[in-house]
Structure 1
Amino acid sequence: MRELRFEQVSVRFGSRRRGTVAVDGVDLVVPAGTVVGLVGESGSGKSTLARAAVGLAPLTGGRILLDGRPVREMSRAAGRPPLQMVFQDPYSALDPRMSIGDSIAEAIPRQPASTAAQRRAEVGRLLELVGLPADRAGVRPDELSGGQRQRVALARALAGRPEVIVADEITSALDVSIQGAVLNVVRELQRRMRLTMLFISHNLAVVRYVSDVVAVMYLGRIVEYGPAADVLGDPQHPYTRELLAAVPRAGAPLPQPPGESADADPPDPHQPPSGCRFHPRCPVGPQVVPGRDRCRDSEPSGAGHRNLAACHFAAAAGQARP
């Protein structure tokens, strides 16, 4: 088990004048042996942060550490990446020309003494670990359902013997009836193997089900972080409250759109607002409550607030729940 840590991580795309900072100075800890759920709406930077963790997006600034050592340094020393990623789309994550057994075997670290029989046995073990029969190793991806393909993608990630799994929206491309089965596999794997996992989703119900800790991301920055029960049970940042209010509940009326005093759409990421980035949409911000110009002028810090809520008026936000 390893602790994954992001220290002031930034990722920028495009030129200096016309580029976009997709991830802006993110500090985030994924404690060893826990699942951290990273939530936020589309465009918040979640997937970019995930890709940066596994080396698919170059860092503009900051460091990504595994037990205090840079991830890239550990990759070179071990000869294999210590982080493995499970991608959103199970249809494009696997080579359609290869059997699923060959795809998994390809990810198993090469050892001089290993035999073909040993590798086949390891492939069978990994398939059974994710709930698929070992004798399915010879089939191709197009012979499997979406949920089965995502299980194969999980097995392939585990084949690399990673220290950390990064799962990026792994249920969003699946039917609702299949999502629960895949999430059960994730929970069982994490409990059995004590995996360290960064689990990314825009679905708060999914995050609540699998996560020990929740981090909330908005426009490239973490705005709230803490134990899942605290963040989802008593959120301190108004953005987290808005996300929770938008989740339909059985027997409850449909969520209402934002009021006229708050912008419904996120701001342009090329030109993020000054001060608190959420203030143009905030239901307890300066567009709604007079005298809160501080939100426009200065960037909030999570220091001293419950759940590290990056809000100047976190305590007041808690009293303004509809």
Structure 2
Amino acid sequence: MSELRFDQVSVRYGTHRSGLTAVDDVSLVVPSGSVVGLVGESGSGKSTLARAAIGLAPISGGAITLDGADVRSHRRRRPIQMVFQDPFSSLDPRMSIGESIAEALPRSLRGSAARRARVAELLEMVSLDPERAGSLPAALSGGQRQRIALARALAADPEVVIADEITSALDVSVQGSVLNLVRELRRELSLTMLFISHNLAVVRYLSDHLAVMYLGRIVEFGPTEQILADPQHPYTRELLAAAPTRHGDLLRTGDTAALDAEPPDPHSPPSGCRFHPRCPIGPVAHPDRAVCRTVIPVLPTGIRGASCHFAALGSDPSARPVRGAQEGGGLSAGRTTSAVPVRTQ
């Protein structure tokens, strides 16, 4: 397995005047042999970033590399494989599941007997009976189809696997078995994986590191347990607070006026910190924090960090922003000045 790196990647659709920047100057590393969870609300750019890695979305800026080589010029056949949210639409309904898996096998595997044996091995790997190889996708349940999608991704012997909301289209009773399968495959095959989800419980179960995305930008990154135990960006805190408890209520406390505001138009994002119109510790709640409206906070490099002027200072009205934030630009991979110090282990 290999290291997948996004270096100041931007993805833009449309023209200069009426276009949409779905991903804006994102830098993210998926270390070899680890699982990085990517979370954020709908429309934050998670799936667009994943599609850019496999060539389904245009890269308008930056680079995506696999072990230092640009993925667009990689000589190896399909080194990055993606498992999509809807397993039925990602499989050809006219092809048997055995044919779908065999189609993804490397050309170096020659001979029909060898290819049939490999298909059977992959079906067993995802806990399906090899005798089902002749079945059509319509004859399978949603969970079984998602297992076929996993087997098809693994058939190409990829360097990196990207899983995009692979349990969101499944029944709750099936989600657990699929997640357990992914966890077992990760352990057995030492998979390098970018796991996209809006469910923080799922991300905690699978991921070593966590990246939080808002309106096209990464706003916090670090070890999963550290972020979930001590979220430092206000948006991350609100994602956690929105999770229902066992009693059915929400964990959110305090002033929610800013959070109830309408999400900004992605075609015309706010200046400065993009979260400031909805931020409970920003200028809506504390008018003296006008820096959030004009200055883009810097995401520090390193193991742990959050791009927020007041992340480590909470709602203290006397707090002042940390100097060194970026004026008028995007996220900076080369700056380490932030309200949150970079932590090392």
Q: Would you say same fold, with TM above 0.5?
A: yes
SS in 1 for 2:211: strand
1:84 deviates by 0.4
Q: Which residue of 1 aligns with 2:256?
A: 259
1:302 aligns with 2:291: no
1:231 to 223, 227, 230: 227
1:70 aligns with 2:70: yes
Q: Which residue of 2 aligns with 1:141?
A: 137
1:179 partner amino acid: Q
Rounded to whole Å, the distance in 2 between the matches of 1:315 and 1:60 is: 33
Q: Which residue of 1 aligns with 2:191?
A: 195
Please tell me the root mean square deviation across aligned C-alpha atoms, in Å: 1.7
Which structure's residues are more often helix, by fraction?
1
Please give the per-residue CA displacement for 1:155-204, whole angstroms capped at 9, x wherever unaligned: 00000110000111100000111001000111000110001000001111
Rounded to whole Å, the distance in 1 between the matches of 2:251 and 2:39 is: 19
SS in 2 for 1:187: helix
SS in 2 for 1:150: helix
1:245 aligns with 2:241: yes
1:46 partner amino acid: K
Rounded to whole Å, the distance in 1 between the matches of 2:171 and 2:11 is: 32
Poorly superposed stretches of 4+, deviation over 6 Å: none
Rounded to whole Å, the distance in 2 between the matches of 1:63 and 1:305 is: 19
1:25 deviates by 0.2
Q: Which runs of 5 or more structure 1 residues have no equivalent in the other structure?
A: none
Rounded to whole Å, the distance in 1 between the matches of 2:315 and 2:67 is: 35
State, as a whole percentage, how many aligned pairs show the same letter: 66
Q: Which residue of 2 aligns with 1:86?
A: 83
2:104 to 80, 102, 107: 107
C-alpha contact 2:90 2:149 (8 A) present in aligned 1: yes
Rounded to whole Å, the distance in 1 between the matches of 2:151 and 2:293 is: 47
Rounded to whole Å, the distance in 2 between the matches of 1:194 and 1:118 is: 24
2:2 partner amino acid: R
Rounded to whole Å, the distance in 2 between the matches of 1:70 and 1:213 is: 23
1:253 deviates by 2.0
1:52 aligns with 2:49: no
Distance 1:304 1:36, change over 3 A: closer
1:110 deviates by 1.1
Rounded to whole Å, the distance in 2 between the matches of 1:98 and 1:158 is: 18
Please give the per-residue CA displacement for 1:231-260, whole angstroms capped at 9, x wherever unaligned: 111110000000000001113524569722
Number of residues of Structure 1 aligned to a counterpart in Structure 2: 316
SS in 1 for 2:308: coil
SS in 1 for 2:81: strand
Rounded to whole Å, the distance in 1 between the matches of 2:236 and 2:88 is: 32
Rounded to whole Å, the distance in 1 between the matches of 2:180 and 2:94 is: 29
Rounded to whole Å, the distance in 1 between the matches of 2:137 and 2:30 is: 32
C-alpha contact 1:235 1:318 (8 A) present in aligned 2: no
TM superposition score normalised by structure 1? 0.94
Q: How does 1:162-177 map to 2 (within 5 A)?
A: 162-177=158-173
C-alpha contact 2:281 2:315 (8 A) present in aligned 1: no
